[in-house]
Structures are given as structure tokens and as C-alpha cells.
Structure 1
Amino acid sequence: MARVGDWIRRFLDKPGSVDLTPYQRVVAEAGRLEDEVARRDELVPASVPPEWVGSAEFCAVVREAARRALGQRPFDVQLVGVLGLLDGTVVQMATGEGKTLVGAMAAAGFALRGARVHAVSVNDYLARRDAEWMGPLYETLGLTAGWIAELSTPEERREAYAKDITYAAVSELGFDVLRDRMRVDAAELVVPPPDVALVDEADSVLVDEARVPLVLAGAADPGVALPEMAALVRRLSKGYHYTIDEEGRSVFLTPKGTDTVEKALGVLLYEHPGIVTQVNLALHAQALLIRDVDYIVRDGRVHLINTSRGRVAMLQRWPDGLQAAVEAKERLPASETGEILDSLTIQSLIRRYPRVCGMTGTAVAVADQLREFYDLRVAVIPPNRPCARADEPDRVYPTAEAKRQALLEEISAQHATGRPILVGTLDIAESEQLDEALRARGLRPVVLNAKNDAEEAAIIARAGERGVITVSTQMAGRGTDIRLGGGVPEQEAEVAALGGLYIIGTGRHESSRLDDQLRGRAGRQGDPGGSVFLVSGEDPLLTAYAPEEALPPAGAGGLVRDPRAAELIAHAQRVAEGVNLEIHRNTWRYTRLIERQRTELLERRDRILRGDAGAEALRAACPERDRELRAAFGDEKVDRAARQIVLFHIDRCWTEHLGFLADLREGIHLRALGRLNPLDEFNREAVPAYRDMLDEIERRSKESFEKADLTRDLDDQGLKRPTATWTYLVQDNPFGSDWDRILKRVAGALKRGRSGRIGGR
């Protein structure tokens, strides 16, 4: 019957529908070759035909290579996963099933075909760990591997990119691409042409962070810290001076608030739009951004929190105005600011690669998005051993306080048995409050949150030891196995007898996938384990996405036992997922046009960087000046100057064009009031603006060439590039653009319209 179900799923092309049967046949044949391959001295043939990779012999070879190099014999299901990756799918494998080894064997396969492989990770730690861990495997197969980190020098980066397989955090790959786009000498380029991207934690990289722009900025005038505005808004009261919308994403001055601000500043706000912007930024920072939830303050700096990972986003910042407002709120000096020279979303970065594959523990939930945005299918790989984890239904409480008390009692009761506990909280503030409450009861939890993420791998590795209570924000420690008893055999058996690792979620996330990731930390490789989520009617998920729906009344023991409670929670989660998906789609609709323009311009730039296209264009445009300069300075010097001139104006005009598009998009939603489609209006203005930019590049280049004095440095003749550049990730408008907020309001209206049939299809 299961086979019939699989066939129907494949026929309908549903998530998880990739047929594993051909892979399983190949792996079975590889098993019959295992003994023969084990007797070989040389594993890889001297000449590797492309079709050899993915064959039964290839599977037998990489299995034997892993056994020799790492002391690990890959399971059949791991080899099935390797074949899925080589076919360009996203493979879903449960926690503890050995995805790191699967990715390495697939990377080796691509490299043996002659491809250049970039193993994309979520952070520097995992990139280095996996490259070094899997290094012996690659050496056994005659391949090389390197890794890149934030502090890697340009020489180290070039060396790593020259290897067959390069491990790097997705942000570092993107920053290298951005820096290369500003090079004026082809010899200084760092990143080779893209070929294969093998993405670890594919759901996090390809979906959760798809819209995150990576930014290359150039030094500009220092930003304004707005300390006076921060001091002013601290005196304003919620509900009297300002109001916050029901989703907590927008804040508005009331008439009384406007009067108060105008009196304090001695101006009429409507006459000073710049001051209005400063007041709004300060108010956003004060009212909507919460310390230890949205950001932390460490070492005298503001650090943003990556909400999908529960970690400090070390390279991330808000747009400069808001960043300065938060720094002023916290009474900190303003950090460096500058204009954006170029940017690149993570989605656009990955789409540069002709071949993309990936692996994660939770792909089916985002299969539609993987197909829509990357044309990727999902292959669900069965576990080597059946999952023995016991997942309890949610425990639902009417109030947050009732949930908090129940949480403390549950932790205390489970800890009394010696069972290890991993508590997943929704934010840092909650993790620290829970730590304090548990310590008041005489318990000693280990807190793993964005404030101590440098030690997260060591902490999470010990979470399966007897009697350990680990409190973690979301998926901190992702990528590290939790072994029962810390991997010590006698302790492992003891903890297994207690029921294994127990997962407690302190609330449901906006995405069910994040809940599944937390739950999946228990029950690795058939280990026993358990999980439960505690939810209250006052949780943000319900108040934001089902505000007009009330939980059924609580029964005995303070629990809400009515099945409608579970339906309400699931409904709120579906609404949240739908809204976030629509914002993703909306962002991509705008980004797609910009990417097309960027790609076309970069092709022109590359021709100029690598050849004499710039000199030829200026010779045709300014023949007399060209002859004059060549007679005086020679061809080589004129060609070099022409290249520098054209490249400067390409980069300068593109920076200005990006600024224009950002301003255009920010206000384009207003066209909807006139019954116009904002996206159509954006395209209608962006396309001619791009053509105008190309004309402007030509005009400025000709003007600079006519005036150029080649006896002097061109930097002193209006062609000076930024004295410093730096990279960061920007949380692109954390409250959403006004158009995004309109989408949310529409979704809210639809949600209210469907409220009579919660839980229905």
C-alpha cells in the first residue's frame, strides 16, 4: 500500500515525490561490489568518465573511502542521499543521519566529474569544522578541500577557491562576489565562475534567509546618532502619545503625541519631513525593537538577533538610519555608516550557480517554495532506523503565567528522574527569565543563546547527558549531534532507559518547520526521546495571527483540552506561514527586475575589466582626444586610463541607480490608492531609469576622458573611489515596507473572513 501511495505522490508531483527506487537499485548493486572494492589499492580510476559518478561502483568506492579515511561505513540510506544530491535535489534527512558525510561524498562526486563545488554552510564554524573533518575523505579520493572564514585574507580566499571543494558560510561567498564586482584589475578577482552549490541547512539558507540582502558599503559622511530624538521619545507613553498596530510592526503618533513632539522641538512637523523621519526612526527603535529579543548590547555595540537561528547575526545591521536610532536609544556612539555600493540577496547569490542541491532535516514543508524560487525538488530519505521519539500533543493554557508555572513544574519533574532536557525558547529574554526562575528552584540549567554562541557546539553536544538541563533559543547549536549520555556507552544506556532526551518547546513558532527542527533534536538514529510544546492564548503567534479568536475554556488542571484549541494554533501558524510566503514572493517580484539589470551591467563591466572594450568605446566616442593621448602617452597607459574611467562611472551610476530604486520601491505602494498595480508601476519606471543610467555612464565617461590629465592620478580628478569599504547583512526594513504591511492587513482580513471554519481545508 505504501508503494501505491508513493506512486500517487510522484504522479501528482507533490513534495517529497522524487522516486528513490532507481537510487535504491544502484545502492543495492554497490553492496554486491563492496568486498571487491575493499581489496583495491587505488580506489578511483585514472580517468573518470562523467557517467561513472553515480554508478554502483562509485557508491562502493566512496563508501570504502569513508571507511578508510574516517572509520565510518556509510549506511545504504546515506548513499541514496548522495545520489539524490548528484541529481540536483534537496534531500530531507532526519537529525543524526549523517548529512555532513552525505554532503561530502556528493561534493566528491561533483568534483570527480570536473565541477568546482562550493559547500555552502550557515556559519564559519561549520564551514571550517566540516572541511577539516571531511579532509581525509577527499585526500583518499585524490581531491582537495579548503575553507573560508570572515578573517580569511584575499590570498587565503584565492587558495581556498582553487581547491576542488570550497567550504564557506553563505555570507562570505556573497561578500566575495560583491567585492569582486568593484575590482578594477582582473588579477585581483577572488571568486571563480560559479558551478555547483551544495547547500547545507538548505531550508535556512534558501528560504529563511532568502530575502536577506548582503551589502557592500563605501565610506561616507558619519551618520547622525539622533540622541536628542531618543531622549524625546523615551518620555512618550504608549496609548497616549503613540499607538502600535495589532501585529506590532508599525507605530503612529497620536494627535497628542504630535503636539508634544512639536512643542519639544519647536517646529511644525509637516513643514520638516527630515525631522519627521528622525522622529519615526527613534519611535520605531523605542517602541518596536526590544532589547534581548530583537538585539543584544555587547562590548558597547548593538548586535542583531537572527530570529530563524536564535543566534547573534554578527555581520547584520539595520538600514543606517534605524541602526543609528537604536544606538542612540541605548546611549551608544553611532557606528560607521556609508552609502550602499552594491547589494545581493542570498536568493540571487544561490541562483547564480548553474547547479544547486542541498540537504536539511525539514524540506517537505518548504517544497513549494524550493520549486517556485529555485526549481528544486525534494527527495525524502528514510531514516536508517525508525524514529522512536514520542511526540505529545500540545499542552494549551489560557494565560502566559499559567503556561510559565506549568513549564517550571514539568522541567522540575523530569529533571528529578535524571532525564536530560532541552528547552527551546522563542527569544533571549525568555531564555534568561527561565534560567533565573529555574535557579530560584535550586536547578542549574545551561543557557545557550545568542550571547554565548561561540561555545554553542560544545554546550549542545553535552545536552544528552544525564541530569543536564539545556535552555536554548530556537536552533542554536544546529549542525551538532546530541548523543545520549554524551556518547559514553554505559551512560548512553542509562539515559535511554530514562526515555532519552526530552524536548520542551515554550511556544509555537510562526513556522511549523522551526518547531519540527527543535523536535528533531531528540530521537537521532532510533534513540528514544520525547517532545512537547506548551502554548498559551497570550502567545505572540495567536495574538498576532488569530487576534479575534478566543481559546475554549480551560478544564481540570488548568489545561485547555478542547480539540478546537489545536485547530486554532494550527490555523494561526498557517496564516503566519502564508503571510511570510506572500512577502517573499512580493520581494522577489521586485528583486527579479533588479537582478536582470545587474546581470546585464556586470556582463558589460566584465568585458571592460578583462579587455579593451572601454578603450575601444572611448576611441569611437572621442577619436581626436584618443589620438592626442596615445601620441603623448602610448597605448598601454591610455587603455589603462580608459578602463579606470569607464569602470568608475559604471560603479558610480549603479550605486545611484540602486538608491533611486530603493526610494521608488519605498513609495510605490501609494500607487495602489489610485487603483494601479505597484509592481507594474515599479517596472514602468525602473526600466527607463536603467536605460537612462546607461546613457549617463557613456556621457560621464566621455566627459572624463576629454578632461583627463594622464600626468596626474585620476583619483584626484573626480574619479576617487571610497577610501574604505565594508560588508554586512541588512535586515531589510524589519517592519516591512508599507506595501508589505498592506499585504499583512489583507491577510488579516482574509483570516477573519475564514474564522468560522478554522481547521478546514
Structure 2
Amino acid sequence: MAGFGWFWKAMGGQSGRSQKKSRQIVAKASQAQEELNRLSDKELADKARSMVSDKKITDPAGFLAVLSVASQRTLGLTPFPPQAQACLRLLAGDVIHMATGEGKTLVGAMAATGYGLMGHTVHAITVNDYLAHRDAEWMRPLVEFFGLSVGAITEKMTPGERREVYARDIVYGPVNEIGFDVLRDQLITRREDAVQHGADVAIVDEADSVLVDEALVPLVLAGSQPGSAPQGKITELVKNLRQGTDFTTDDDRRNVFLTEQGADKVERALGIDSLYDDEHVGTTLVQVNLALHAQELLLRDVHYLIRDGKVALIDASKGRVADLQRWPDGLQAAVEAKEGLAVTEGGRILDTITLQALLHRYPTVCGMTGTAVEATDQLAQFYQLKVSVIDRNKELIRFDEADRVYATMKQKNDAIVDEIRRVHATGQPILVGTQDVAESEELAAKLAEFDIETNVLNAKNDWAEAEIIAQAGEYGKVTVSTQMAGRGTDIKLGGADERDHDRVAEAGGLFVLGTGRHRSSRLDNQLRGRAGRQGDPGSSLFFVSLEDDMVTTGGAGEDITANPDQFGMIDSKRIRDYVEHCQRVTEGQLLEIHSQTWKYNKLIADQRIIIDERRGEILDTDAALESFRSRVPGRVEELEATVDHGVLVQAARDVMLYHLDNGWSDHLALLDDVRESIHLRAIARETPLDEYHRIAVHEFKQLAERAMEEAVDTFTRVRIDNDGAHLEEEGLARPSATWTYMVNDNPLSSNGNKLKKAVRLMFGGSPVAKD
């Protein structure tokens, strides 16, 4: 892992030649810095601008040298040659593979500043609020040295605050917040209400996580409407249903099915003839299935927490609470009813966008991560991005031990506790990576029985993230964390100030222990990469059991024989190879899912562009009023006699946009239903994807025509005066409240994310609740 030169030689392509040229430019830049050090701050800033022409850098070596000198003056940080090289490759539009602890934050800031000096607007995309705010403030002196402006978008900002930050040259923001702002801007009826207007460049931190792992996660904007929450009686009834008798679940516990006996029991308890009568199939049956789904498949401290008397969803891919997010279609209310909390109202999906579609809105995308090489194929296939591998500043000396494989989950967990006790006795700091909140707390409780104090970092205390991670390298410290990807704080040996560095290094450095392999080796490597930063010693070890989620999924249908010892350990290269095989299978499944899902989503993304263009025309011109003039000229003439022209133009926009947005919302709901049942087309020997496209294209053509007909009808009868169009009088008011949430539709994500699809009816019905 010390370097990946062999990789590019094997690839034999442009990347290798680009790297060689980059190193030459970096060497030349290093030589130029001494002379630049004699310039004043103003002269140095002017020098940078003189090296830009027509939004292109004319002297890459000199430009890089100026950025390096400015970094030293403003931040006290002199970039290492690998950091300078990484900056250069970001400015070339690549995704850089750069190990943990090598200084990606500075690299990203230098590249953002470089793009800003070229006249581009930049979104520096992070994975959470904390990193966005931290990085913007930390790197502000460098950015402002060149007269550029910088700010951060965080979840609790008002629209006015967001609008002001988005107007700056460089904006740091969580990918979800930026996406939700795009969606909210799709509801505006006045251009001045928009909070952002896009950017020229997206620099993505943890690029493989955002661009690959979560690329197909839809961000959803919903509007309030009466919900279909299970009634109290139904919630209590479902609690008494028995698995195997009254209901069953599929193998991976993603779907739950009422049995005929279970349906009979529910019908008797509710005093109804049949759940499947027209009277009940769309109401009572939906509520029963929602309650059953919430009771059996959504687990407290795995999928959600109870915080301040409310249900808080857990983003399992990051081990954090997903702020202001909720499940759609009554699932949220069902969980609230299950927990005895106040039940919130339901919602209707107004708009949605995947992270992949969001990133495609940027003309230039580049990024940084410690595990890009493993995602090379996906980055090329879905974004046409190249990966540049940046060698470490100091050679890696971390020792990665072979996996320890056990027959059962219990035997594995016992062995994990024994290993932590053994290593802890040496004083070596330990970082344990778990799969979910419940597992982290169970492990901490077991260790407490042996008087081992642990710092636990999970969704329950993610606000203390920076402090806990900063302490994780202290002598004798044991830290248990869910999902280290995107934590964003280096673990320094000896603590945050490294005062005890030598003592910890002598003990062996940071010891990383994984309680299980992830579905993707990249997530394993992100955890493993926390040890061995900047030439420090360290070690890593993963524990696996043949009952682990990844093994049972990747090895489904395969019979494997093993000979464990008395403690359940299987010391066999054949079995370790089998575990590797299972992981490759799940990785292949993930790639296939990504490829197929993107084919479905791409059409919606293309149709969205058309809606965007139509909305833009209505917002920025008199197109709406002129459309009404051509269809109902008498009504327009009548209104022009009494209503101010500007007010009438806006009233026409309000009417037209209401029906266009309503039509788009209906279109999304229809396509969601079509996609859920499209597999049935295969029975009729039709290609599901082709049939989906045929229906989507046909329905989209109807959308615009139907929206125009409804808008004309509304325009002719709605009261319009100098206060505008009174749509609420016609029952056409926009939602009084909106909220955002994420739908994780990845059926192979790790333990904490198993509920993702639907409660399906046993008797051939459609899905009635989708997450």
C-alpha cells in the first residue's frame, strides 16, 4: 500500500503519463517558492491572477507555488509534494486516491481556491454539517487571502442565510443539504426566492461514498397531507401476531407478509369480513401492514432512536442521526404509534432527485478519498472520471493481519472481547468499527464487565464526534464507533496534541479492529486506513463469522464445510478465500444494482431537465400570461382592465406553476408504482426496462398537455385581483409545510439498513408502503 505506481503501469494509460507530468510540475513549483517568498501578500495574490487567462491556468508550476506560499502564510501549513500533486490533479478534474492522514482538507481548499481564481464558482461537498462548517472556517484565511469569499451551508440555516452563503465564490456544504436546496428551489414561484443557482465545480470529499455508495439514494421533498397512520387498536393487535404463524419475513428481513391465518386473526379482532374487500384494502389493510412493518422490521437503536420524545432516523452508512429526515407513506407514523409517541401527519412526494443526478448538474466534478482505486470502474462508468493515485508522504508501515474467521456470531463476539482485553493490557489505543448503534452499545457493555472504559461514538452522540475521535489515539484508550467513513478527523497518536506520541508509537500505534466485513471492501479499507497515518506504526484486524450478513448474502446457496477449533475459530486459507469471494459477490451485486437502477433513474433525470427548463421559462418571462392569452384571450383582456400588469403576470405564473408542479408530483408517484410492478412485464415476455421507458415517455407527454388544460381551467375561474391569484379559494394551495428525507433503496447495504423496500401483500397485491 506504500504506492500505486504498479497500478498505473499495469493500466498503461493516460493516467500514468499524467502523473509523471504532475510530478515534474510539482518539482518545478517547489523551486519557484523561494523567489515568491520575497513578494508581499498583495503582490503574491496579483501574481496568481496574472497566471490565469480565459478561465485557464497559463503557468501551472507558478500557480501551484503561489498557492503553497499563501498556505504557509495564512494557515502555517506548507504542503508536502504529494499534496501539491493532489491539488494539481483536482484542478485537472480527477478523483484523487489519497490515504487517510495525508491532508486532504488542505488539498481541497487549495484546489477550490485555484478554481475560484480561474473565475469558477465552487461547491466543496462534504458528508455532514460538522465538516462543512469546520473546513470553511479552517481554510477561510487561505481563500480570503486572494480576495475570494467562502462560507458553509448547514442544516439549521434560514432561506435568507442560505441565499447569502450561496452567493459566495466557494461554498462548503453537505451533499444532502445542497440537494435539498435544489429541490426546494423547484417549488419557487418567484425567481428571487431561489436560494442557490448551482455552481461550475463540485469538489467532493469522500468521493467514492458520495458518488458510488450513496449515488442512487433519492433525496425527497414532501408536502403535508392527511396521513394513513395505523390506529391505536391496530398497533396493539399487531404486537400480538406471531412470526411463522401469523406472518413471515423473507430471508434478508426486508419484506414482511401476512399469512392467511394472520389475516383471519386480524379480521376477527377488528370485526370485519375481509381485509381484502374494496372497503378495507386501501385503508385498513394498509394500516395493518404498516404497523407490522414497523413492529417487525424497524428496530430501535438500529434503524432509529428516540430523542426528545421523537423518532430520529439513523443514517446507517454514517452512523449518525439523519436530521429532519423521516420515512414516507405512513411508516414514520407507524413507528411513532409503535413507540407510543404523538403521531405526525403524512405527506405527498413533491419532488425527488438522486445524488448521482444532483452531481451531474455540475459541469466539472472532481473529488478526494482514501479508497478511490477500488471504485475506478464505477467512477469511469457513471461519471467519466479518472482516478489519480497520490503516493504517501511517508511509507506505510501498518501491519494488516489476516482475518480471523469464526463459525458462529456468538463465538466471534466472544473472541472480539478477548482480543480487546489482550491488546488493551499493552496500552495500545484501540479503535473498534461496528456495524450499527445496537452493536456498539452491546460491545461497550460487555467490555465494562471487565472494567474496560470505552468511548462510544454512534448516532446517539454524533455531536461529540470531533472530541471522541481526537482522543482515540491516546495511550490505553478504547473507542467504539459505528462507520468511520467521513468522520473527517485524523486520529493522532498520543492525543490531539500528540504529547504522548512516542509512548503510543512504542506500544504499536493505533490498533483498528473491525467487528465484521462490509459489503464493500472500500468500507473496510476506510476503517483500516485510520491507522498508520504519516508513517506512524499501527495494525488492523477484522473478525468474521460464517453467520455474518455479508457472508450469508454473498455465499447464498453455497454449502461450505469448516473445522473450527474449540473456540469456534477456523484457521483455514480456504475459508478466508471464501469470505473474500463472498465480499466480491456482494460488490458485484452492488455494481449491477447501481447499473440497473441508474438506467431507470436516468430517464427521470432527463425529464427533470425538461421540467427545469419549462419552469425557468415561466419564472423569467411572460410565457405563462402569453399562453393564456392565446387560449383564453377574453379572460386576459378582462383582467388587464382591472389588474396591474406585473401582478397579472405573477398570477399567471402561480397558476401555471401550480399545475406543472402538481403534474410532476403525480408523474413521480405513477412511475414509482409502475416500477414496483414492472417485473410482472417479464412474465409477458416484455423487457421490463423497455416497457418502463415506454410508459414513462408516454405519460410525460401527457403531463404537459394535462397541466396546461388544468391551468387554463383554473385561470378562467379563479379570483384574480391586485392581490394576485386566490388559489386557496379553489382548494389549490401549496402545502403548508414541507420536509425532506432520504430513501435508501439499496437492498445490500449493511446491517442497520435492511428495511428498504416494501410491505408486500401475500395475495398478489401491490406494495403498500415504500421506504
Contact 2:256 2:760 in 1 (8 A): no
- In structure 1, the partner of 2:39 is 40
Q: Rate the CA distance shift 1:700–1:572 in 2: closer, same or farther, 3 A.
A: same
> Once the two structures are superposed, what CA deviation does each residue of 1:578-615 show, in whole Å capped at 9, x if it has no partner?
22222222221121111111110110111110111111
Segments of 5+ residues of structure 1 without an aligned counterpart are 742-761
Q: CA deviation at 1:17?
A: 5.9
Name the CA distance, whole Å, in 1 between partners of 2:423 and 2:554: 32
Letter in 1 for 2:109: A
- Equivalent position SS for 2:399: strand
Q: In the alignment, is the contact (CA less than 8 A) between 1:197 and 1:355 conserved in 2? A: yes
Aligned to 1:264: 269
* Shift in alpha-carbon separation, 1:425–1:147, aligned structure 2, 3 A: same
Match of 2:767 in 1: none
- What is the rounded CA distance, in whole Å, between the counterparts of 1:233 and 1:544 in structure 2? 29
Q: Which moved more, 1:699-708 or 1:195-204?
A: 699-708
Q: Is the 8 A contact 1:66 1:72 kept in 2?
A: yes
1:565 equivalent in alignment to 2:575: yes
**Counterparts of 1:4 and 1:31, CA distance in 2:** 22
SS at match of 2:453: coil
The 3-state SS of whatever aligns with 2:460 is coil
Q: Distance in 2 between matches of 1:4 and 1:319?
A: 48
Deviation at 1:167, TM superposition (A): 0.6
Shift of 1:164: 1.1
Does residue 219 (structure 1) correspond to residue 224 (structure 2)? The answer is yes
Q: Counterpart of 2:726 in structure 1: which amino acid? A: L
Return closer, same or farther for 1:627/1:462 CA change in 2, 3 Å cut-off. Answer: same
Alpha-carbon separation, structure 2, partners of 1:740 and 1:237: 18
Checking the alignment, whether the CA contact within 8 Å between 1:316 and 1:730 is kept in structure 2 is no
Selected match of 1:273 from 277, 281, 284: 281
Q: Deviations over 1:29-55 (max 9, x none)?
A: 101101001111121335432443660
CA contact (8 A) 2:255 2:759 kept: no
CA distance in 2 between counterparts of 1:383 and 1:541 reads 31
CA contact (8 A) 2:125 2:202 kept: yes
Q: Report the equivalent of 1:670.
A: 680
1:95-106 correspondence runs (5 A): 95-106=100-111
Matched, 1:491 2:500: yes
Instruction: State the identity as a percent.
Output: 50
Q: Distance in 2 between matches of 1:96 and 1:73?
A: 15
Match of 2:727 among 700, 715, 719: 715
Q: What SS class does the counterpart of residue 540 from structure 2 fall into?
A: strand
Unaligned runs of 5+ in 2: 747-753, 762-771
Q: Which residue of 2 aligns with 1:163?
A: 168
Q: Give a deviation string over 1:382-427, Cα, whole Å, max 9, x none.
A: 1111111100000111122221221111111111111101111111
* Counterpart residue number, 1:611: 621
CA distance in 1, matches of 2:692, 2:287: 26
Aligned position for 2:70:
65
How many Å apart are 1:732 and its aligned residue? 4.4
Worse overlay, 216-225 or 463-472: 216-225
Q: Secondary structure at the match of 1:453?
A: helix
Distance 1:168 1:565, change over 3 A: same
In the TM superposition, residue 65 of structure 1 has moved relative to its aligned partner by 0.6
Distance 1:300 1:79 in 2: 49
Cα–Cα, structure 1 residues 52 and 307, in superposed 2: closer, same or farther, change >3 Å? Answer: same
The change in CA–CA distance for 1:649 and 1:301 in structure 2 (over 3 A counts) is same
Name 1:747's counterpart in structure 2: none
Question: 1:632, CA displacement in angstroms?
Answer: 3.2
Contact preservation (8 Å) 1:143, 1:164: yes
Partners of 1:685 and 1:517 in 2: CA distance? 42
Aligned-residue offset at 1:113? 0.6
Per the alignment, do residues 252 and 64 of structure 1 end up closer, same or farther by CA in structure 2, a change over 3 Å counting? same
CA distance in 1, matches of 2:469, 2:276: 53
Corresponding residue for residue 178 of structure 1: 183
CA deviation profile, 1:82-115 (whole Å, cap 9, x unmatched): 1111111111100000000000000011111100
Give the superposition deviation at 1:336: 3.5
Bigger shift: residues 620-629 or 146-155: 620-629
Amino acid at match of 1:475: M
1:725 is the counterpart of 2:738: yes
1:195-237 CA-partner distances (Å, limit 9, x unpaired) = 1111111112112221222222222124424433322222122
Q: Tell me how far 1:656 sits from its aligned partner.
A: 1.6
Does 2:207 correspond to 1:202? yes
Amino acid at match of 1:382: D
Tell me what 1:752 maps to. none
Instruction: Say which is worse superposed, 366-375 or 352-361, in terms of deviation.
Output: 366-375
The residue matched to 1:388 in structure 2 has which SS?
coil
Matching residue of 2:600: 590
Judged with a 3 Å threshold, the aligned counterparts in structure 2 of structure 1 residues 10 and 243 are, in CA distance, closer, same or farther, namely same
Question: Who is 1:631 aligned against?
Answer: 641
The match for 2:12 is 11
- Which residue in 2 is equivalent to 1:744? none
Residue number in structure 1 paired with 2:140? 135
**In structure 2, what residue type is equivalent to 1:715?**
L
Deviates more, 1:572-581 or 1:145-154: 572-581
Q: Distance in 1 between matches of 2:606 and 2:486?
A: 37
1:27-426 map, 5 Å: 27-41=26-40, 42-44=43-45, 45=47, 47=50, 48-49=52-53, 50-52=55-57, 55-265=60-270, 266-271=272-277, 272-274=280-282, 275-426=284-435
| Letter paired with 1:565 | I
Between the aligned partners of 2:135 and 2:667, the Cα distance in structure 1 is 40
Aligned to 2:157, what secondary structure does the other structure show?
Answer: coil
* Counterpart in the other structure of 1:600: 610
Instruction: Quote the residue 2:461 is aligned against.
Output: 452
Secondary structure at the residue paired with 1:484? coil
Q: 1:682 to 1:558 in 2, by over 3 A?
A: closer
Q: Is the 8 A contact 1:18 1:379 kept in 2?
A: no
Cα gap change, 1:465 to 1:405, in 2 (>3 Å): same
User: Structure 1 residues 54 and 300, CA, compared in 2 at 3 Å: closer, same or farther?
Assistant: farther
User: 1:529 aligned to 2:542?
Assistant: no
**TM norm structure 2:** 0.92
Separation in structure 1 between the aligned mates of residue 4 and residue 350 of structure 2, nearest angstrom: 54
Corresponding residue to 1:645 among 655, 659, 667: 655
Residues 127 and 169 in structure 1, CA contact (< 8 A), matched pair in contact too: yes
Displacement of 1:191 in angstroms is 0.6
CA contact (8 A) 2:430 2:479 kept: yes
Tell me, in whole angstroms, the C-alpha distance in 1 between the residues paired with 2:246 and 2:110. 60
CA apart distance, 1:291: 1.8
Q: Secondary structure at the match of 1:452?
A: helix
Over 3 Å counting, the alpha-carbon distance change for 1:295 and 1:62 in structure 2 is same
Q: Does 1:576 align with 2:581?
A: no
Higher deviation after alignment, 369-378 or 126-135: 369-378
Aligned-pair CA distance for 1:252: 2.2
The more displaced of 708-717 and 151-160 is 708-717
> Is 1:511 aligned to 2:520, yes or no?
yes
Aligned partner of 1:698 in structure 2 is 708
Q: Distance in 2 between matches of 1:314 and 1:440?
A: 33
Conservation of the 8 A alpha-carbon contact between 2:314 and 2:459: yes
SS of the residue aligned with 1:120?
Answer: strand
Distance 1:738 1:367, change over 3 A: farther
Task: State the distance in 2 between where 1:597 and 1:222 align.
Answer: 29
Please say which of residues 351-360 and 3-12 is displaced more in the overlay.
Answer: 3-12
Q: Distance in 1 between matches of 2:16 and 2:569?
A: 39
Q: Does 1:550 align with 2:560?
A: yes
Aligned residue for 1:486, secondary structure, equals coil
The offset of 1:489, in angstroms, is 4.8
Q: Which residue type is aligned with residue 624 of structure 2?
A: G
Q: Is the 8 A contact 1:216 1:725 kept in 2?
A: yes
Determine the C-alpha separation between the residues in 1 that align with 2:429 and 2:648: 71
| Contact kept? 2:230, 2:288, Cα under 8 Å | no
Change (3 A) 1:195 1:531: same
RMSD: 2.2
Deviations, residues 684-711 of structure 1 (Å, cap 9, x unaligned): 1111111111111111122122224323
CA distance in 1, matches of 2:559, 2:488: 38
Query: Take 1:456 and 1:566, find their aligned partners in 2: how far apart are those partners?
Result: 34
Cα distance in 1 for partners of 2:584, 2:305 equals 30
Q: Compare 577-586 and 587-596 and name the one that shifted more.
A: 577-586
